[in-house]
A and B are shown apart, each in its own frame.
Chain A
Amino acid sequence: MELIFKFIEVFLSTIVDVMPIAIIIFATQYLIIRRRLANLKQVLFGFVLVILGMAFFLVGLEEALFPLGEVMAKQLTDPAFLGVDNLVENIQWENYLWVYIFAAAIGFATTLAEPALLAVAIKAQNVSGGTVSIWGLRTSVAIGVGLGISLGTFRIVTGTPLHYYIIAGYVIVIIQTLFAPKSIIALAYDSGGVTTSTVTVPLVAALGIGLAGTVPGRSELIDGFGLIAFASLFPMITVMGYAQIGHWRAKKDLQRQELKMKKASDSKNR
């Protein structure tokens, strides 16, 4: 029963969230473009599905994942579990190994369930004619988020300034941009912003704030932030890497084929 009330509440608030977008779209369509939508019924049904889907999704997350994820983040960052003394002099980053592993695993797994990323991946597969596959993009983005969040927890433990990491990451992105296939660049940049929405942000925020609260000498307010920035930066690196590897492979295959053909024609000539 409680679940049904919660669902209705979330459903209504989702409608409120979608409203401004719907108003802007339909006002533009009917007042500025002045053309009727050919398949209005289907589109409206689609909007209903989107809102319903979001509501189910959010309630399910709140019911299942978030409480458990928060408890796990708290337990894993607990000094007693990690076997560390709660003293400033005693922070050794190696003691937090399970935290880094958990951060990487949960970042990877939640990204695969991120609906916005799935949407972009579907579009990218259609537009690229299959060169960029849905699963290829999602996996490489998920690896990026996992790496990023893991490094972000390391930063919280060691207390090094956030902007050193971010600036170093930018430098890597810029260098990769020079070498990456041109067609992937825009998509790679986009995949940074896409990753962090409904599923990842709450869990990651819980992890960051939990960790900053238990590591001695860290402030929840200053050090707890910044994990999301890591999660938006690293996918750019991994997606460009993914495209680069695909590019090299295709090139090698081509070379190998040329070599084979050359050999075949050589033996024929002989």
Chain B
Amino acid sequence: MVTDYIKQIFILLFSGFKDLLPIIIVVAFFQFIVLQQPIPNLANILVGLFMVSIGLTLFIKGLEIGLFPVGENLAYDFARKGSVFWLIVFAFALGFGTTIAEPALIAIADKAAFLAAKDNVISATDSAQQAYAAGLRYTVAISVGFAIVIGVIRIIRGWPIQYIIIGGYICVVVITFFAPKEIIGIAYDSGGVTTSTITVPLVTALGVGLASSIRGRNPMIDGFGLIALASLTPMMFVMLYGIFI
């Protein structure tokens, strides 16, 4: 079994490299033709590119045999057991748990705290900034948990995604007019930042699995959309956080 995997991995390595080709072309074009400069540390870069393509390959293989089946299995089991309560608890835990430790979010929260201190929204001490950043992180994590819960209920009930998302956009627009100016950019960015490389496949597998195992749901129409919700709610919650604190 293991040798089979290794053989497949070698075949996949090539496709991993193919994914990187556009980056190599863009970088080479700008470096040689536009900026007219040699590439520094070429050896390092080649080693790095090789590592990236190995990484991409292993990651995709791991998804196919690990993350995807687990997410789908859970979805089937929940659908069969019919325990909506536990499904919602799980959905919240998944959204909250994967977001709270997200490195990109930690970076954004620290920057936001720095900004707030600069504008005298909070006092410029370290402890005040840390408290502000931590509060922001919890806010975003709760908002993502909340988003996954709403998304799961939507799949069970078969609500059309567009009404929820468009309603959410309208809320975002309305809140924007009341939010402090400095927080808007951060809030809009935080929507894109929360969905990490491991959360996305898992959440997708969960949604598609749920939609395929509940009768009357179409995996294409109902299965996707969890990530969209998880990118929408942080924008609202971060701006609200900026307004109230």
Closest to B155 in A: A186
Decide if A3 touches B47 in the complex (CB within 8 Å). Answer: yes
Closest CB in chain A relative to B59 CB, distance in Å: 3
| Chain B, 193-231, CB within 8 A of any chain A CB | 193-202, 204-205, 208, 212, 218-228, 230-231
Q: How far is the CA of A81 from the CA of B34 in the complex (A)?
A: 10
Decide if A56 touches B58 in the complex (CB within 8 Å). Answer: yes
B57 within 8 A of A: yes
B150 within 8 A of A: no
**Interface size of B in residues (CB-CB distance below 8 Å):** 109
Decide if B67 touches A61 in the complex (CB within 8 Å). Answer: no
Count of A-B contacts judged by CB separation below 8 Å:
335
Closest to B107 in A: A205
| Chain A, 26-67, CB within 8 A of any chain B CB | 28-29, 32-33, 35, 37, 39, 42-65, 67
| Chain A, 1-23, CB within 8 A of any chain B CB | 3, 16-18, 20-21, 23
Chain A 192-211 near chain B by CB (<8 Å), digits 1 or 0 = 11111110010000000000
| Chain B, 169-192, CB within 8 A of any chain A CB | 169, 172-173, 176, 181-182, 184-186, 188-189, 191-192
Closest CB in chain A relative to B166 CB, distance in Å: 6
A127 within 8 A of B: yes
B134 within 8 A of A: no
| Chain B interfacial positions (CB closer than 8 Å to A) | 5, 19-20, 22-23, 25-27, 29-31, 34-35, 37, 39-41, 44-70, 73-74, 77-78, 81, 83, 86, 90, 93-94, 97-98, 100-104, 111, 114-115, 118, 161-162, 165-166, 169, 172-173, 176, 181-182, 184-186, 188-189, 191-202, 204-205, 208, 212, 218-228, 230-231
Q: Which 5 A-B residue pairings sit nearest by Cβ, starting from the closest? A: A46-B66, A64-B48, A57-B55, A49-B62, A60-B51
